[in-house]
């Protein structure tokens, strides 16, 4: 199980010539790290005297960030599975017309998964960006920089996942699905970029 490996082993495999894990899995890892940092800001804030009024908000944000961390962590393996399925489809025999048709159908089916998986990753990262503002506004000042790192990680992960949508969607024969995926990812990039910059500015203002 990829999520049970050590960080060193994961990075070694990422750096190797193996096709997986790749950029999609890396995006999920980065997004999960962003969510974990938001959780950390909340958990530290919950332990500070004088910030009791923020406790309910921090618990709510932490519940969301932990849900997203779990989801993004699962996407590490999901991305590997989606890409491996696509590669296996490309390896199918194509000697006869029947084999060619079966191979083409398998490739198209796999491309849907290879497009959906990073799209779901981008959606989750956009949610991390959304809750990061609440952590940045109410979090303990001593760890507020970590809220900034968290939102930047989530934004990087969103943009990274978007690239994987953009490389696979043009290959889809279902142009309606492809257009919808590209349209949604463009919206996520626009709104996520705007919100992450606003949160980053908020963090910098709190840092003085």
Tokens of 208: 């003085």
pLDDT score recorded for residue 1: 63
Residue 4, in any domain of the structure: no
Q: Which residues of 81-110 are buried (b: 16+ CB within 10 A; e: fewer)?
A: ebbebbeebeeeeeeeeeeeeebeebbeeb
Q: Which domain holds residue 61?
A: 17-203
Residue 10, in any domain of the structure: no
Distance, in Å, from the CA atom of 197 to the CA atom of 19, rounded to the nearest integer, reads: 33
pLDDT score recorded for residue 20: 87
Reported as a pLDDT band with limits 50, 70 and 90, residue 18 is confident
Reported as a pLDDT band with limits 50, 70 and 90, residue 184 is very high
Residue 7, in any domain of the structure: no
Reported as a pLDDT band with limits 50, 70 and 90, residue 114 is very high
Query: Is 102 in contact with 124 (CB distance < 8 Å)?
Result: no
DSSP string across the chain = -GGGS-HHHHHHHHHSS-SSS-HHHHHHHHHHHHHHHHHHHHHHHHT-TT-GGGHHHHHHHHHHHHHHHHHHHHHHHHHHHHHHHHHHHHTS--SSHHHHHHHHHHHHHHHHHHHHHHHHHHHHHHHHHHHHHHHHHHS-GGGHHHHHHHHHHHHHHHHHHHHHHHHHGGG-S-HHHHHHHHHHHHHHHHHHHHHHHHHHHHHHHHH-
Total domain count for the chain? 1
Residue 59, in any domain of the structure: yes
Reported as a pLDDT band with limits 50, 70 and 90, residue 171 is very high
Reported as a pLDDT band with limits 50, 70 and 90, residue 144 is very high
Residue 208, in any domain of the structure: no
Q: How many other C-beta atoms lie within 10 A of the C-beta of residue 59?
A: 14
* Sign of the Cα pseudo-torsion (149, 153, 156, 162, in order): negative
Confidence check: pLDDT of 2 > 70: no
Taking residues 94-109, what's their average pLDDT?
A: 95
Instruction: Classify residue 55 as left (phi > 0), alpha (psi -120 to 50) or beta.
Output: alpha
Taking residues 158-173, what's their average pLDDT?
A: 96
Confidence check: pLDDT of 189 > 90: yes
Residue 178, in any domain of the structure: yes
Reported as a pLDDT band with limits 50, 70 and 90, residue 47 is confident
Residue 6, in any domain of the structure: no
CATH code: domain of residue 104: 1.20.120.680
Name the pTM for this structure: 0.93
Confidence check: pLDDT of 96 > 90: yes
Residue 11, in any domain of the structure: no
Reported as a pLDDT band with limits 50, 70 and 90, residue 125 is very high
Taking residues 6-32, what's their average pLDDT?
A: 92
């Amino acid at each position: 199980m990829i999520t049970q490996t050590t960080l060193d082993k994961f990075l070694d495999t990422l750096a190797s010539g193996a096709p997986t894990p790749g950029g999609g899995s890396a995006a999920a890892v980065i997004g999960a790290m962003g969510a974990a940092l938001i959780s950390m800001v909340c958990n530290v804030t919950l332990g500070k005297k004088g910030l009791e009024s923020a406790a309910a908000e921090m618990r709510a944000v932490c519940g969301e960030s932990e849900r997203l961390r779990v989801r993004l962590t699962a996407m590490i393996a999901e991305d590997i599975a989606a890409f491996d399925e696509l590669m296996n489809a490309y390896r199918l025999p194509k000697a006869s017309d029947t084999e060619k048709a079966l191979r083409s159908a398998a490739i198209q089916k796999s491309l849907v998964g290879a497009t959906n998986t990073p799209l779901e990753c981008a959606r989750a990262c956009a949610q991390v960006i959304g809750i990061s503002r609440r952590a940045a506004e109410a979090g303990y000042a001593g760890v507020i920089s970590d809220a900034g790192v968290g939102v930047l990680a989530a934004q990087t992960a969103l943009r990274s996942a978007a690239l994987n949508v953009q490389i696979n969607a043009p290959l889809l024969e279902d142009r309606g699905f492809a257009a919808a995926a590209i349209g949604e990812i463009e919206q996520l990039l626009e709104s996520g970029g705007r919100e992450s910059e606003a949160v980053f500015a908020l963090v910098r203002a709190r840092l003085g």
